Amino acid sequence: MCGAENESVLHMLVSCSDVKRIWYLYPLRLEVDKFEGPSFGDWCVYVRVYYKDSHWWNIFFAMLWGIWLRRNTCSFEKRRKNMVVVIHNAVSLVGDYEQAQVVVSSPTCNPQHLESFWKPPANGVIKINSDAAIFSDNSAGLGGVLWDSAGDVVVSTCLHL
């Protein structure tokens, strides 16, 4: 992305000059310049020594994912995502996740209390829900369901590739 070095996992997620700024600007203020190891795995072990709080790790992994998505946007869509947007999205994702955990673990949890829940489509409209998964053997699964306005399944399918 930056053109300064050949892309490696460590460079892409940690040592690229743009990424260093992201790590420093995001809420945990991680100073990646202090790390001098050879690999991304070594960096994760290094970070783990200093940070134990699970809330911190939620933000950390969301930030890694945000940096990865930023890289993919640049590589495949030929546009750059703003660093502030990447940070905001990662922190918001964790906030949404933690809020959902509070609501779901509540003894009075009612689906109508959630911000959104599945609703059948309007009359004459078909709703499509789909999902995909990648398994440890590198195979993939795809699935889909078509619903009518009564909430009945019209068609469903799944495929293992």
138: its two tokens: 């590198």
**Domain membership flag for residue 66:** yes
Give the pLDDT of residue 125: 87
Same structural domain for residues 21 and 84? Answer: yes
Give the pLDDT of residue 117: 65
Output the CA–CA distances (angstroms, integers) from residue 22 to 12, 40, 141, in the order listed: 12, 16, 34
Same structural domain for residues 97 and 150? Answer: no
Same structural domain for residues 28 and 104? Answer: yes
Average the pLDDT over 38-62 and give the result: 86
Same structural domain for residues 147 and 92? Answer: no
Same structural domain for residues 28 and 93? Answer: yes
User: Do 27 and 44 meet the contact criterion of CB atoms below 8 Å apart?
Assistant: no
Helix (H, G, I), strand (E, B) or coil at 126: coil
Helix axes 83-105, 54-77, angle to 10 degrees: 130
User: Do 67 and 86 meet the contact criterion of CB atoms below 8 Å apart?
Assistant: yes
Sign of the dihedral through C-alpha 63, 65, 71, 77: negative
Same structural domain for residues 101 and 149? Answer: no
Average the pLDDT over 54-78 and give the result: 90
pTM equals: 0.61
Same structural domain for residues 31 and 71? Answer: yes
Same structural domain for residues 94 and 135? Answer: no
Report the domain count for the chain.
2
**Domain membership flag for residue 92:** yes
**Domain membership flag for residue 149:** yes
Average the pLDDT over 11-39 and give the result: 88
For 48, the domain range is: 9-113
Helix (H, G, I), strand (E, B) or coil at 121: coil
Give the pLDDT of residue 39: 92
Does residue 106 surpass a pLDDT of 60?
no
**Closest Cα to residue 9, out of 52, 31, 42, 46?**
42
**Domain membership flag for residue 119:** no
**Domain membership flag for residue 134:** yes
**Domain membership flag for residue 1:** no
Task: Give the pLDDT band (50/70/90) at residue 65.
Answer: very high
Does residue 27 surpass a pLDDT of 60?
yes
Where would I find the beta strands (DSSP E) of 50-152?
Answer: 127-134, 140-147
Same structural domain for residues 64 and 107? Answer: yes
Same structural domain for residues 140 and 77? Answer: no
Average the pLDDT over 38-63 and give the result: 87
Helix (H, G, I), strand (E, B) or coil at 138: coil
